[in-house]
Amino acid sequence: MKKVLLLRPRGFCAGVVRAIDVVKLALEAYGPPIYVRKEIVHNRHVVEELRRAGAIFVDELDEAPEGARVIFSAHGVAPSVREQARQRNLEVIDATCPLVTKVHLEAVRFARLGYTIVLIGHRDHDEVIGTLGEAPHCTVVVSSIEEVDRLEPPDPQRVAYITQTTLSLDETRHIVERLRERFPALQGPAAQDICYATENRQLAVKAVAPLCQLLLVVGSQNSSNSRRLVEVARNAGVTAHLVDDASELQPQWFEGVDTVAVTAGASAPEHLVQELVRDLLRRGFDHVEEVNLKDEDVRFTLPPQLIQVSSRLTAMER
């Protein structure tokens, strides 16, 4: 019998749900055009759907007309971007994930206390770019143990670390351990920065790794948390592939495979997962078993200017 192990939790996290709702509510309340700086979340299908609904995605604020309504993506922005928005009289709706905001506040706190801040993350990721902007004069980005070994802070007794929220748990732990070896007085966040959804999806992959020969992760190539799921599976000895949707499946992947595990990154819509499962059924994987590792019930409140809009639209639907 060939089967599919469908992992839970998978797909949208609370921050992604909030960010997408922000764009949809803004379009309903104010009508297009609504400008969005960068991709609201890192998923091609989500961005295209919102673009069809009237959202205009821009790389920089000067691509939006002065006085326009602009949404900041879930990944957060640097203070310089907020200042630019003020100078251009843009009406900003902030969809930054609250867990990313937490990391920004930690950067500000450590900077005020005079620490060298080690930001563990990927330099070209939107979240890291935004966080780095909080204290660029005293923050250094590292993504490996080798880069930790090259650090030469002004005061080794005053070093603190923060992290991108979508990293590999294991890789980050090793980097923090090395930081602590080099700088015994190392300070860090009161609670880990890696978000609950990233952690839960990685733990689910680890749990099913001994039970499958192949793991498929639904998510876009620029989604950090999705790419980490592939890494976690491969580190556990399981062949894994990241696909935007079922159209990217390759027949040779399934040769000699009896059990396929399926999960999705935190910005991947559930309908893409279901389409992929239907494709697997057509390939002979005729038994689908849902594996639930943990229930998630996290919810984030909307930005203040959209709370009343949401209530009004809900009332109109009744």
Catalogue the active-site residues.
127
Distance CA 289, CA 3 (A): 7
Q: List, as own/partner pairs, every contact residues 52-55 make where C-beta atoms lie below 8 angstroms and the sequence separation is at least 24, other chains included.
A: 53/23, 53/24, 53/27, 54/27, 55/23, 55/27
Q: Where are the beta strands (DSSP E) in 9-142?
A: 34-37, 55-58, 69-72, 91-94, 116-120, 139-142
The per-residue DSSP string of 125-137 comes to: SHHHHHHHTTSTT
Query: Any bridge partners for residue 261, and if so which?
Result: 5, 215
> How far does the chain reach from its first CA to its final CA, in angstroms?
47
Nearest CA among 41, 9, 12 for reference residue 262 = 9
Query: Any bridge partners for residue 217, and if so which?
Result: 242, 263
- In the block, tokens 């490996």 appear at 144
Structure tokens at 70: 């602009």
